[in-house]
């Protein structure tokens, strides 16, 4: 496993822009696990991901419904497992359909997802590094996702 790629964003627009760039690189079957505390920017990142997929609907946190589906160039399944302490069989079956399916699945609070479901998933850890600044660390993920983070890092290094 390669070292994490860590990108700092300075506001919500930059966090969404990184998500949008990743949205242009994802493929059907991709799973992105988003880890981080409240206010770390997980939903903001997914809003950008949706924009990169061409989703026109407003993306909000699915905390109370567990999952929202959006149509773009491929479907986006936005899952929030915060309210689940453990997985029941019905939830597991529903998640299995999202994971590796016809779209991309972005999962907030993925700690309760069984390991066998997340083989090959991208892992992104988010944290607040200031009032508006966020740190996004791509801990695992396919080469095309790593390339997005590498491009963002190169842009930051070349900025005046």
Q: How many helices (H) and strands (E) does the chain have?
A: 4, 7
In 3-144, where do the E strands start and end?
Answer: 5-9, 31-35, 67-70, 76-80, 104-108, 122-128, 134-140
Q: What pLDDT sits at residue 31?
A: 95
- Local confidence band at 159 (pLDDT 50, 70, 90 cut-offs): low
Q: What pLDDT sits at residue 155?
A: 83
Q: Sketch the domain layout of the chain as residue ranges.
A: 5-158
pLDDT digits (tens, 9 = 90+) for 38-54: 999 999 999 999 999 99
Q: What pLDDT sits at residue 65?
A: 73
Q: What pLDDT sits at residue 24?
A: 94
Q: What pLDDT sits at residue 14?
A: 95
- Local confidence band at 64 (pLDDT 50, 70, 90 cut-offs): low
Superfamily the domain 5-158 falls into: P-loop containing nucleotide triphosphate hydrolases (3.40.50.300)
Please tell me whether residue 104 adopts helix, strand or coil conformation: strand
In eight-state DSSP terms, residue 16 is: H
Q: Does the pLDDT at position 158 exceed 80? A: no
pLDDT digits (tens, 9 = 90+) for 1-28: 578 999 999 999 999 999 999 999 999 9
Q: Does the pLDDT at position 114 exceed 70? A: yes
Say how far apart CA 17 and CA 12 lie, in whole Å.
Answer: 8
- Residue 23's region, left for phi above 0, alpha for psi from -120 to 50, else beta, is alpha
pLDDT digits (tens, 9 = 90+) for 120-145: 899 999 999 989 999 999 999 999 99
pLDDT digits (tens, 9 = 90+) for 67-110: 899 999 999 999 998 877 777 888 888 888 888 789 999 999 99
The tokens of 158 are what?
């070349």
């Amino acid at each position: 496993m390669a070292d994490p790629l860590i990108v700092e964003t300075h506001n919500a627009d930059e966090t969404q822009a990184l998500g949008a760039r990743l949205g242009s690189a994802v493929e059907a079957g991709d799973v992105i696990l988003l880890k981080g505390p409240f206010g770390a920017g997980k939903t903001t990142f997914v809003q950008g991901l949706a924009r990169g997929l061409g989703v026109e609907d407003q993306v909000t946190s699915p905390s109370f419904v567990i999952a929202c589906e959006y149509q773009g160039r491929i479907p986006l399944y936005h899952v929030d497992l915060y309210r689940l302490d453990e997985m029941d069989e019905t939830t597991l079956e529903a998640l299995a359909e999202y994971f590796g399916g016809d779209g991309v699945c972005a999962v907030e609070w993925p700690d309760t997802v069984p390991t066998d479901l997340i083989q090959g998933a991208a892992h992104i850890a988010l944290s607040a590094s200031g009032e508006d600044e966020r740190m996004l660390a791509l801990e695992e993920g396919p080469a095309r996702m790593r390339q997005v983070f590498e491009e963002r890092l190169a842009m930051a290094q070349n900025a005046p």
